Amino acid sequence: MTAELLAPAMLGALVVVLLAGFPVAFSLAAVAGVFGALGVFLGVFPLGFLTAMYFRVLGMFNNDNLLAIPLLVLMGLILERTGIAEDMLLALNRLFRRLPGGLAYAVITVGMVLSPIVGFVSASVIALGLISLPVMIRAGYESGWRPALSPPPGR
């Protein structure tokens, strides 16, 4: 097997493993490990690349930008537990009360303010979810998902 055939075979194996129902993280790791070993065995993948993996992992641990993610999730938890977030959303809800779905507009406004501060999409979404979901559920917003073409319940 040549190096040109190794990549499509790896993609095919990943698709098969994912369709078999294995979790994504374990599937990626297993397929990469098997095909890495196969590449080293066939001589198309230099063994020196595997020794560089240690330095790649070490570089990820030394990345200061990733420190912000757990701290911003903690900020979202603190805002939700102390009630500051609920007070902020309710104040913004009063501002948008004449519009249908005013609380949704308030959540969007809080997201616009929070996103540039956070800088990470994942941390921003988690913090916004922790802040706004309990308030929206108490206000009567539906928490379930349904397809767009289905009629609303009760009609």
**At 106, which amino acid appears?**
A
20 & 46 share domain: yes
- The answer to the question of residue 148 being in a domain is no
- The answer to the question of residue 26 being in a domain is yes
57 & 120 share domain: no
134 & 114 share domain: yes
pLDDT for position 50 = 77
What are the structure tokens assigned to 135, written together?
A: 């308030």
- The answer to the question of residue 154 being in a domain is no
Instruction: Please state, in angstroms and rounded to a whole number, the distance separating the CA atoms of residues 38 and 31.
Output: 10
CA dihedral 111, 113, 118, 122 (to 10 degrees): 10
- The answer to the question of residue 49 being in a domain is yes
pLDDT for position 124 = 73
- The answer to the question of residue 128 being in a domain is yes
- The answer to the question of residue 145 being in a domain is no
125 & 78 share domain: yes
CA distance from start to end of the chain: 60
Record the pTM. Answer: 0.45
pLDDT for position 17 = 94
Tens digits of pLDDT across the chain (155 residues): 677 888 899 999 999 999 999 899 899 999 998 998 898 888 888 888 877 878 888 888 887 777 777 877 787 778 777 877 778 777 888 888 888 878 888 888 877 777 776 666 777 777 778 778 877 788 777 766 655 555 556 65
Q: What is the DSSP string of 32-79?
A: HHHHHHHHHHHTSS-HHHHHHHHHHHHHHHT-GGGGHHHHHHHHHHHH
pLDDT for position 117 = 67
116 & 98 share domain: yes
- The answer to the question of residue 151 being in a domain is no
The count of structural domains within the chain is 2
73 & 131 share domain: yes
Domain that holds residue 131: 66-138
